Structure 1
Amino acid sequence: MATLQKIRDKFGIIVAVLIGLSLLSFIIFTGTGNNSIFSNRNKQFEIARVAGKSISIMDYNRRVSNLTEIYKLSGNTNMDEATSKMIREQVWEDMIRENILTPEYKKLGLDVSPDELFDLVQGNNPHPLIRQIFTDKTTGIFNRSALIRFLKNMENDETGQQKKYWLFLEKQIYNERRITKYLGLIRQGLFATDFEAHETYVEDNKKTDFKYVSQLFDVIPDTSIIVTMNDLKAYYKKHKKNYQQKAERKIEYVTFDVVPSPKDIQLAEDWINKIKPEFEAAKDVPEFVSLNSDIPYQDRHYGYGELTPDTLNDIMFNAEPGFVYGPYKEEEAFKLARLAAIDYLPDSVHARHILIALDPKKTKEAIKQKADSIKNLIEKGTDFALLASTVSDDKGSAQLGGDLGWFKEGIMVKPFSDACFFGKKHDLLVVETRFGYHVIEILDQSKKVKKLEIGFIVRNIEPSSDTYNQIYSQASRFAGVNNTYDKFKEAIKKNNLEKHVAVIGKNDENIPGLESARPFIRAAFKTEKDNIILSTNNQAVFELGDKFVIGYITEAKTEGIAPLKDVEEDIRLQVTKEKKGDALVMVFKKEMKDVKTLDDLASKINARIREASGITFNSFTIPGAGIEPALNAVAYVWPPNRLTSPVKGLNGVYVLEITSVTEPDSISNYNQIKTRLMANFQTRTNFEAYNALKKHADIKDERAKFF
C-alpha cells in the first residue's frame, strides 16, 4: 500500500486532469465496442441514441460509479455536486465518442496490439503518463525500477486497488493510442498543393485600391416593401439550416418566500434575553457558546476595528473581562457578546519554517524525531535557510529559505499561529499541526497591542414550522385556484405579485435566483405550453431552497428546425433587406446607363465617393463600409478603371471603380506556405474530423428524463 500511496500522490492529479479534459482530448474511453449499450433497446431506460444505437441509463450509471470509484481511489475525496456533475459529463462524452468512433476503428481494422501496449507502458520510451507517475521528484529522472517494482508487487495487494489503478491507466493509454492512430491516418490523407499555396499567397498579398459609392438599405422605408407569405415560405425553405434550435422552455413563475414571521422574530429575541443571565454566570465561555450558540465558539483574538458592528469595538475595548453586551441584532440574528479575556499580542509576526510532512509509511514519533534533529542542527549553527531549501516539504516556502513573510493572527492553522504569536522573538520551536511537524523560527514581531477573546451567543432568526406551513398553504391555495394560465396572469396582476421569467434548456442545472432548480427544470420539459408545471407527484408547488415556486410554460421549443411561425419576424427582416437590395440594384442599373465615371454616378444619385486602399481578398473590413466580403471578392477580380456592376452587400448596394492593383512579387518556392497550410490542416483535423462524425450520428440526448 505504500507504493500505491506514492502512485496516488501523482496519479490523483492526473485522474483529475483526465476527468476534466475537454471534448477534443479523446483520452478517457472507459469501455469497448462490445458493451451492452449496443444491445439495450428499451426506450423506457434509454438515456441516449447515437447513430441508431441505444445507450441505457443502467450502463451510464454503472460507468459513472466506476469513474467515481477511480476518482476516490486516487485520493480525491471531495465529492461535491460540482465534482459529481463533472464526472457525469465526462462519462457522457466518453460514451458518445465510443459509439461514434468504435465503428470507424472496425472499418479500418485499427487497433493497438498487446505488444504495442506493452511497449507503451514498459518499453524504452514509455507513454508520458507512465513517465509522469514514475519520475523521481527529486532528480526529475524516470525511475524504471520503481515501475517494475510496482508491477511485481501489484498482485500481492489484497485490496486490489493497485491493479484497479493500473488497468484504468492502461485503458487510457490504449484509447489515446487508438485515436492518435485514427487522426494520424486522416492527417496523412491531407496535402497542400502548389496551386493552393499560390492562391493563398496571392489572396494575402495582392492589394487593390478602389473608390466606391453606396446606397444603404435604410434609405428605403420598411413600409414601402411588400412581403408576402409566399416570400417568407420561399426564404425559409432555402435557408432552413440557419434556423436550427435547441430544446427550450420559456417559463413564468412566482415565488412565495419562506421568511420569518414577526412571531418568529419575537421568539428569537425572547430566547436571547432569557439566556443572557446564564451566559453572564458561565464559568467556561467556549463550552457554553459551543453548547448554546447557533455558531460555534471562534478561538481567536480580535484587534481594534475587527469587530462588527463598528460600535462594538469601542464598547468591548473599554470593558472588563466578564462584561456581556447585548442582545443586539446583526443581519438575521440576535447576538450576545461576552469579553472572555484581554491579551497583549503582536499585531503581526515574521517567521520561517521547515515542514516535515506526515507520511503514512512513517510513525508520528519518527517524524517528530526528524524535526527535533533538524532543530538541534540549527541550534548548533547549521544554516536554517539551507536546511529549509533541501529538506522542507513545503516547497513553496523552501525556495525562500522557509521564509513566510509577515502574517496576522488567524492566517495560519491555529497551533502554528499560537506558537508564533504567544512565543518570543528568536524562539526556535517544534510545533505539530495537521500537516506534520514544523520547525519554526520567530524572526520578528510587531509591537504588542491589546487584543480581546470574545464569546458570541448567536440566535438565528429562522422561520418556524408554523410559518413554513402557513406559507406553503398560501402557495398551495394560489396554485389550486389559478389552474389556468389566464387565471395565473390575472392573479399576479390582482395581487401585485412579482412575475419572474426564464428561458431554460433541458439539461440546465440552474435558474438565477432559485436554489437547486433541477427538479423544476426537468418537470418543465414534461409540461405542455400554457400548462402549469407539475412535479412527478403531480404537485404544482416546488420547494426550492427557501422559496415555494409555481410556474407555467409560455413557450416550448423542440430540438431541430424551428417552425416558420417562430422565426417569421427574423425571416421578414431578411426578406425585406433582400427586396431593398433588389430595388437599389435596379436604381443603380437605371442611373448607370448614361454614365462612364464614378464621379458622374455619384452626382446622379447624390452619393459621396469613398476610398479604400491596400485591400486584399482576406481583408476583414472595408473603410467606410465595415464588413462587406462581397466587396473584397469583386475588388480582387475586377479590372482597373471600369465601373463594376451593382454589388449587393450585407448593408447596402455598392458600385466600385478599381484605381490600382499591386500584384505580389513572384516566388518560385511555395514550401513555406505549404507548410503553414499543412499545419492548419493538421490542427483542424483534431476537432473537425470528430465533429463531422458527431454531426452525422443523429445524437438523441435524453438525460433530462433521468437527471
Structure 2
Amino acid sequence: MAAIGKIREKSGLLLAIIGLALAAFVLGDLFKNLGKSNNVDKDKIALINGEKVGVQDFNRKVSQQTDLFVQRNKRNPTTEESYVITISEWNRTKREVIMRQQMTELGLLQSIGNMKPQISMDEFMSNIYSLTPNREVVRFFTGDYNGQIAQDQVKGFFDFIERGVNSENAEERSKALEYKSQWELFKGGLKDVLMETKYNNLIVKAYYLPKALADADFDDNSVSNQVAYFGVSYKNVTDEEATVTDADYQKYYDAHKTEYEEDIASRKIDYVSWVVRPSNKDIVDLRQQIEDYYKDLESADKRDVQYLVNRIGDNKYDSIWIAKDSLSVYIDSAAFAYEAGTVLGPWEENTAYHIARIMDKDMRPDSMRASQILISYAGAYGAKGITRTKIGARALADSIKGAISKDKGAFEALLVKSDDPNAVQTKGDFGWFKDGAMLAKINDACINGNIGDVVVVETTIGFSVIRVDDKLENTPKIRVAQIDLPIVFSQETFNEAYSKAIKFAAVNRTYEAFDTASANMGLGVMKSKYISDLAGGILGLKNSRDVVKWMFNSETNVGDVSNVFDFEDKVIVAVLTEARPEGIKTLDEVKDIIKPLVERDVKARILMEKTAGVKSLSQATEFNSSIDTAFVSFATYSLPKYAPEPCVTGRFASAAVGQLQGPIKGMQGVYFFKVLVKGSTPESKDIQYMQQRSASVFAQSVYPNQRDPQKVSSYTPLEENTEMDNNMFFFY
C-alpha cells in the first residue's frame, strides 16, 4: 500500500526522538556491517575448483530469469521472489560448472575457439527435432512433460521468430522478440540438461550386474523359508523401569554420530517484536479523512469523479455495470434503491473504510449472444498478412451488412470473407457472453440493438459486422464509483514502536540482558529454526534476508544483540543464540532427537535380560505374545503381523532348521524364531531379468528426480567433492 511506503522515511526523526546518546550505537552497528566484506573479491561470486564465477555474468543471468518471471506473471517479483530467483540461478550455475568440468575431464564435450566446452551443435539440434525429443523440449513447447509435439510445430516456432523479428507489424515483431528471448534463455538451460543427460547415460551404460550376483539376487527374492516366530514389544517395559543414564546417551551417540553430520553451518536467533497497529488517534484521523472524501465525492462533477477516485483512493475507478447482489452487503440494497448521484457510506469492511457514489442506473441484459464477420485492415491489432486499407475494409463491411440485411441467410455464406481464422469453424458465433466481457463497442452494439439486428462496429481489431443473436431479459444494473481508504497506522504510531525497539536494543546488549528485559517488559520471545547463510529469511518475517545477513556477519557472535529491523507491520530486535558449524553435531545438540532411540535401546537391553531364559517358542504367552508362522524370503520388506524388521528377517536365511534363535533386538521389540522348512531353489532361473531389473533400479538412482530435486543423483557426489569458495552471502 502507498501508506506503508510513506512510513519508511523515519531515520532522522527517530534519532531526534531517541537522542544523540544512541547515535554512536546506531553508527557503530552500521560500520560493523560495512566492514564485513572488505576481504571479498568484488568481481567474484564463487570459485569452483579454481574456476571463477564472475559477478557481471551471474547478474546478467539473474536479470534474464527476472525478465522471464515478468513475462510469465505480468508483474515484477517481490523482494522474496527476487531472492528465490537469485538462489535458483546460483544452484543452476553451480551445477553447470561442476558438470562441465567433469565432462571436459572425460572428453565428452566439444571445445570451439575460446568458448567453454559444450555439447556439439549437431547433438543439440538432434534433440530438438528428434522423434523422441528431450522431455524439457516437450515441456517448452507444450507446457507439460507428457505433452505431444510434432516436428512441424517446432519448425513453425522458429519460422515465426525468423519472420517476425523483421516484421513491419509492431505486435508480431514484439511477440517474435519475446519468443526469441524465451528460447535463448531456454537454450542455455537445455544445453546443461543435455550435457548432464549425456553424463548420466554414460554411467548407466557402464553398469553391469555379474551373473553370480544376479543368481544370488534371484535366490534372495525367490527362496522362501517357513518360519515360526514371536515378538516381545518394548511396550512391556515402562518408562519408569527404563532409566536412561548419561552413559546410555554417550554409547548411542558414539555409535551413530556420523548420522548427525551437517553439510553447512547454521545459526539460530531469539527475537522480540513490536507489532504496529493503528492507534485510537489514527482511527479518529482516518474517519475524518473518509468523511472529507465523502464531501468531495458528493460535490464533484460527474465528469471529474473518475479522476477523483484514481487520485485519492487506494483503488482505481471501474466503469463496469453491476447486477444486484454483487456489491458489498453494506450498500447493495441501498445502491439499487437510491437515485444516481447518491453517495453511500462510509462503511468499514476488510480493514478499510469505503464510500461509493451511484454513477448510472439502467436496465440491461446479464448475458448476450452474437456472431461476427471480422474485416480487418493493415495496421489493425492482430492483422497479420492483411494488405487491405482501412477505407477498403469499411466499404467491404458495409457491403456485407447490406447483403445480410436483405437476406438473413447470407451471413453463413459470407463467413468466408471474415479475417477471423476460426470463423468458418465456429460460424462466427461468440457464444453467450456476460455484459461487459466483450470489447466495449461490440458490447454496446449488442446492448442497444434488437435480436436479429446487424450492425458494423469499428474496434482496434478492424470492422466487425455484428449480428445480435439473442439476449436475456433486462435486469436493473448500476455503475458505482468507490473510494477505499485502508485502515493503517500513521507515521507517528510507527515511530513510537520503532523508538521503543531502538531503546531496547541500545540498553540490552547481551543475551542475559535481552532475556531479562524481555521477560520484565512482557515481550513474547520468538525462536527461529536453524538458518543457513543463504536462507531467504526467517519463517514468519517477510523480507527478512537482512536478518540472516546480520546473523552470519563475521563479527556477530553468540549472545550479540542486533540493531532494529523494521518490516511492514512490525519492528524486531534479535539476539544470536546458537552458531552451529558444519560437521558432526555435538551430543547436546542431538540429545532431544536421539532420546526415544536411546530409550528403545535401554528397553531392548532389559527385555533381552528378561527373555534370556526362553527355551521354546511356546513361552510366547509368558510375554503377552503369540506364535506366528509365515513364508519369508531374504528380500521380504516387512515381518508379517509386525513391521519392517531387517535385523530379524535378515537372519532367517542363514539360520539352521529347527534351532531356536533369539533374543534378537529389533525396531519394535525383541524376537525369537525357528526355521521350520528351508525353501528350495527353483530349477529355472531368469538371470537376465534380474540383471535388467537391477540396471533399471540403478538408472533411477542416477537420473535426477523431477518430483524430488533433493533426491541423491549422479551430481550429488560431484558437488560433495568440489572445492568451492562461495561468496554469494556477501553479494545477496
For the aligned pair, the TM-score class normalised by the smaller chain equals 0.7 to 0.9
Distance (whole Å) between structure 1 residues aligned to residue 71 and residue 483 of structure 2: 42
Q: Secondary structure at the match of 2:642?
A: coil
Which residue of 1 is the match for residue 11 of structure 2?
none
Alignment of 1:353-372 (within 5 A): 358-359=381-382
Which residue of 1 is the match for residue 604 of structure 2?
581
Which residue of 1 is the match for residue 122 of structure 2?
119
Identify the match of residue 501 of structure 1 among 527, 533, 537.
527
Identify the match of residue 366 of structure 2 among 337, 347, 350.
347
State the 1:587 CA deviation: 3.5
State the 1:244 CA deviation: 1.9
* Matched letter for residue 109 of structure 1: G
Distance (whole Å) between structure 2 residues aligned to residue 111 and residue 186 of structure 1: 16
Which residue of 1 is the match for residue 306 of structure 2?
286
Question: Are 2:628 and 1:611 aligned?
Answer: yes
Distance (whole Å) between structure 1 residues aligned to residue 643 and residue 694 of structure 2: 28
Instruction: Select between 97-106 and 73-82 the one with higher mean Cα deviation.
Output: 73-82
* Matched letter for residue 268 of structure 2: K
Distance (whole Å) between structure 1 residues aligned to residue 395 and residue 680 of structure 2: 80
Identify the match of residue 686 of structure 1 among 693, 696, 703.
703
State the 1:504 CA deviation: 4.8
Which residue of 2 is the match for residue 542 of structure 1?
565
Which residue of 1 is the match for residue 272 of structure 2?
254
Which residue of 2 is the match for residue 216 of structure 1?
233
Q: Secondary structure at the match of 2:364?
A: strand
Distance (whole Å) between structure 1 residues aligned to residue 482 and residue 190 of structure 2: 56
Which residue of 1 is the match for residue 548 of structure 2?
521
Q: Secondary structure at the match of 1:682?
A: helix
Which residue of 1 is the match for residue 579 of structure 2?
556
CA contact (8 A) 1:385 1:400 kept: no
Change (3 A) 1:665 1:458: same
State the 1:517 CA deviation: 1.6
Cα RMSD for the two superposed structures: 4.7
Which residue of 2 is the match for residue 268 of structure 1?
286
State the 1:220 CA deviation: 3.4
Distance (whole Å) between structure 1 residues aligned to residue 245 and residue 674 of structure 2: 36
Q: Secondary structure at the match of 2:546?
A: helix
CA contact (8 A) 2:109 2:119 kept: no
Distance (whole Å) between structure 2 residues aligned to residue 163 and residue 418 of structure 1: 39
Alignment of 1:605-644 (within 5 A): 605-644=622-661
CA contact (8 A) 2:219 2:681 kept: yes
Question: Are 2:487 and 1:461 aligned?
Answer: yes
Deviations 1:69-102 (A, max 9, x none): 7x49989874424764454234312332233223
Change (3 A) 1:312 1:398: farther
CA contact (8 A) 1:514 1:545 kept: no
Question: Are 2:167 and 1:141 aligned?
Answer: no
| Identity within the alignment, % | 26
Alignment of 1:433-512 (within 5 A): 442-506=468-532, 507-512=534-539
Alignment of 1:329-340 (within 5 A): 329-340=348-359
Which residue of 2 is the match for residue 320 of structure 1?
339
CA contact (8 A) 2:40 2:727 kept: no
CA contact (8 A) 1:120 1:126 kept: no
* Matched letter for residue 122 of structure 2: D
State the 1:318 CA deviation: 1.5
Alignment of 1:162-173 (within 5 A): none
CA contact (8 A) 2:353 2:485 kept: yes
Deviations 1:599-623 (A, max 9, x none): 1x325x4442142534443333333
Instruction: Select between 433-442 and 194-203 the one with higher mean Cα deviation.
Output: 433-442
Which residue of 2 is the match for residue 11 of structure 1?
none
State the 1:580 CA deviation: 3.3
Change (3 A) 1:368 1:628: farther
Q: Which blocks of at least 5 consecutive residues in structure 1 are unaligned?
A: 1-40, 534-539
Aligned residues: 649
Distance (whole Å) between structure 2 residues aligned to residue 320 and residue 150 of structure 1: 55
Alignment of 1:52-451 (within 5 A): 55=53, 57=55, 59-65=57-63, 71=68, 78-81=75-78, 84-85=82-83, 87-112=85-110, 117-120=120-123, 126=129, 128=133, 141=152, 175-222=192-239, 224=241, 229=246, 232-245=249-262, 246-284=264-302, 285-308=305-328, 310-350=329-369, 358-359=381-382, 376=400, 379=404, 381=409, 392=420, 406-409=432-435, 418=444, 421=447, 423-426=449-452, 442-451=468-477
Distance (whole Å) between structure 1 residues aligned to residue 191 and residue 662 of structure 2: 60
Which residue of 2 is the match for residue 567 of structure 1?
590
Question: Are 2:561 and 1:532 aligned?
Answer: yes
State the 1:630 CA deviation: 2.0
Instruction: Select between 576-585 and 647-656 the one with higher mean Cα deviation.
Output: 576-585
Distance (whole Å) between structure 1 residues aligned to residue 149 and residue 191 of structure 2: 29
Change (3 A) 1:51 1:346: same
Q: Secondary structure at the match of 1:336?
A: strand
State the 1:194 CA deviation: 3.0
Which residue of 1 is the match for residue 688 of structure 2?
671
Deviations 1:360-387 (A, max 9, x none): 8668986998899799499575786996
Change (3 A) 1:152 1:271: closer
CA contact (8 A) 2:394 2:463 kept: yes
* Matched letter for residue 339 of structure 2: E
Distance (whole Å) between structure 1 residues aligned to residue 672 and residue 365 of structure 2: 79
Distance (whole Å) between structure 1 residues aligned to residue 127 and residue 279 of structure 2: 73
Change (3 A) 1:358 1:623: farther
State the 1:655 CA deviation: 0.2
State the 1:420 CA deviation: 5.1
CA contact (8 A) 1:207 1:662 kept: yes
Instruction: Select between 221-230 and 91-100 the one with higher mean Cα deviation.
Output: 221-230
**TM-score when normalising by structure 2:** 0.74
Which residue of 2 is the match for residue 650 of structure 1?
667
Distance (whole Å) between structure 1 residues aligned to residue 104 and residue 224 of structure 2: 50
State the 1:299 CA deviation: 1.0
Distance (whole Å) between structure 2 residues aligned to residue 163 and residue 275 of structure 1: 49
* Matched letter for residue 586 of structure 2: P
State the 1:543 CA deviation: 1.2
Q: Secondary structure at the match of 2:529?
A: strand
State the 1:451 CA deviation: 1.1
Change (3 A) 1:193 1:564: same
CA contact (8 A) 1:415 1:433 kept: yes
Change (3 A) 1:459 1:568: closer
Q: Which blocks of at least 5 consecutive residues in structure 2 are unaligned?
A: 1-38, 113-117, 143-147, 705-712
Distance (whole Å) between structure 1 residues aligned to residue 339 and residue 160 of structure 2: 66
State the 1:410 CA deviation: 5.2
Deviations 1:199-256 (A, max 9, x none): 3433334344433222223433455556665554454343222102354333322222
* Matched letter for residue 508 of structure 1: A
CA contact (8 A) 2:129 2:154 kept: no
Distance (whole Å) between structure 2 residues aligned to residue 371 and residue 618 of structure 1: 80
Q: Secondary structure at the match of 2:284?
A: helix
CA contact (8 A) 1:134 1:147 kept: no
* Matched letter for residue 107 of structure 2: G
Distance (whole Å) between structure 2 residues aligned to residue 44 and residue 234 of structure 1: 48
* Matched letter for residue 301 of structure 2: K
CA contact (8 A) 1:358 1:367 kept: no
* Matched letter for residue 349 of structure 2: E
State the 1:191 CA deviation: 1.5
* Matched letter for residue 64 of structure 1: V
State the 1:636 CA deviation: 3.5
